[in-house]
């Protein structure tokens, strides 16, 4: 039986129109198209982005949710989940490139295991040319390994996920949680019993824009980091000792200059991209 799914893409005014157009092209080039595409305008976009949006020719159901003001990623995605018509929901970032068989592979995962609630995959990161990947972020594949990994870091590449809508809503949906909207939702879903997995292959080419590491430092990020660790503690993924260890390991990194933050990520959170290891 064919599994129908909705796709949610959120876009806001600071997105580059060319990057947005590349994202759209990658979705239209999928071997299996979404049955419904929900585009969330996170506040007014401006004429260039609106022109890209108006040029989309999607052969199936296409919805636009126009939010009157920018509400940030968590609430914007929550609006998309609420509006979705199908039991499965996929998300994509408006500046990334989905590989042509991304949705096909995830639907196979969901079809092979009807109990699976949350499925992601690997990513290849690039700066300018999508065909030149600088690094890969590899995440654990099995549910057991994900449970171990979530105690330390986000076990999903958030721009690759597909999940069961009812489980996301049962867990409280996306919400405002600066910098950790996705990690927060996955933790709540898993706490509620969601079975999860990651595909071994790269499913998305993720754009590493200028200033990405700069946004992962400073007092505001430290506050979000602290709150996320508190969330893991409250949900029972870590104990007080784990909270202390995570805070001691992570928070000082946010006080480094941008180059220092990048060096830490390159050393501990990324690996050199090798197509032979990632399926693409």
Q: Residue 82 has what pLDDT?
A: 98
Residue 268, both tokens:
């501990």
Q: Residue 131 has what pLDDT?
A: 87
The per-residue pLDDT of the chain, averaged, comes to 90
**Bigger pLDDT: 134 or 184?**
184
Sorting pLDDT into bands at 50, 70 and 90, what band is 252?
A: confident
Element (H, E) at 119: strand 116-126
Sorting pLDDT into bands at 50, 70 and 90, what band is 277?
A: very low
CA 116/CA 190 separation, integer angstroms:
11
CB 95 within 8 Å of CB 16: yes
Q: Residue 1 has what pLDDT?
A: 60
| Average pLDDT for 51-69 | 97
Q: Is the dihedral of CA 263, 237, 72, 88 positive or negative?
A: positive
The four Cα atoms 43, 46, 52, 57 give a dihedral, to 10 degrees, of: 50
Q: Residue 268 has what pLDDT?
A: 53
Longest dimension (CA), the chain: 53
DSSP classification of residue 30: -
Q: Is pLDDT above 80 for 58?
A: yes
Q: Is pLDDT above 80 for 47?
A: yes
CB 125 within 8 Å of CB 208: yes
Q: Residue 263 has what pLDDT?
A: 65
CA 72/CA 193 separation, integer angstroms:
27
Residue 114 bridge partners (DSSP): none
For residue range 131-144, what is the model confidence (pLDDT) as tens digits? 887 789 999 999 99
| Average pLDDT for 254-260 | 68
Sorting pLDDT into bands at 50, 70 and 90, what band is 280?
A: very low
Percent of the chain at pLDDT > 70 equals 88
For residue range 63-113, what is the model confidence (pLDDT) as tens digits? 999 999 999 999 999 999 999 999 999 999 999 999 999 999 999 999 999
**Bigger pLDDT: 85 or 250?**
85
Q: Is pLDDT above 50 for 183?
A: yes
| Average pLDDT for 234-255 | 90
DSSP alpha helix (H) spans, the chain: 17-28, 47-54, 73-83, 102-112, 143-149, 165-170, 181-191, 219-235, 240-250, 258-268, 275-278
Q: Residue 135 has what pLDDT?
A: 85
Sorting pLDDT into bands at 50, 70 and 90, what band is 130?
A: confident
For residue range 10-36, what is the model confidence (pLDDT) as tens digits? 999 999 999 999 999 999 999 999 999
For residue range 216-226, what is the model confidence (pLDDT) as tens digits? 667 888 899 99
Q: Is pLDDT above 90 for 153?
A: yes
CA 183 from chain center: how many Å?
Answer: 9
Q: Is pLDDT above 70 for 261?
A: no
């Amino acid at each position: 039986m064919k599994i129908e799914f909705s796709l949610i893409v959120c876009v806001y005014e600071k997105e580059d129109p060319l990057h947005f157009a590349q994202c759209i092209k990658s979705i239209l080039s999928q071997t299996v198209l979404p049955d419904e595409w929900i585009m969330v305008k996170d506040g007014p976009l401006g004429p260039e982005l609106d022109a890209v949006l108006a040029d989309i020719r999607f052969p199936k159901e296409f919805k636009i949710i126009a939010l009157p003001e920018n509400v940030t990623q968590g609430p914007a995605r929550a609006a998309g989940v609420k509006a979705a018509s199908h039991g499965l929901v996929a998300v994509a970032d408006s500046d990334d490139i989905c590989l042509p068989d991304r949705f096909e592979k995830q639907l196979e995962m969901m079809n092979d295991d009807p109990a699976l609630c949350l499925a992601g995959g690997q990513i290849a990161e690039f700066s300018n040319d999508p065909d030149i990947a600088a690094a890969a972020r590899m995440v654990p594949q099995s549910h057991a390994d994900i449970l171990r990994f979530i105690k330390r870091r986000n076990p999903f590449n958030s721009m690759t996920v597909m999940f069961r809508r009812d489980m996301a809503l049962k867990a409280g949906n996306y919400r405002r949680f600066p910098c950790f909207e996705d990690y927060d939702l996955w933790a709540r879903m898993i706490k509620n019993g969601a079975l999860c997995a990651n595909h071994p292959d790269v499913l998305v080419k993720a754009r590493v824009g200028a200033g990405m590491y700069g946004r992962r430092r400073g007092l505001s990020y430290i506050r979000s980091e602290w709150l996320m660790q508190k969330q893991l503690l409250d949900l029972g993924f870590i104990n007080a000792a784990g909270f202390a260890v995570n805070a001691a390991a992570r928070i000082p990194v946010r006080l480094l200059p941008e180059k220092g933050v990048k060096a830490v990520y390159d050393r501990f959170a990324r690996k050199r991209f090798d197509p032979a290891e990632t399926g693409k």
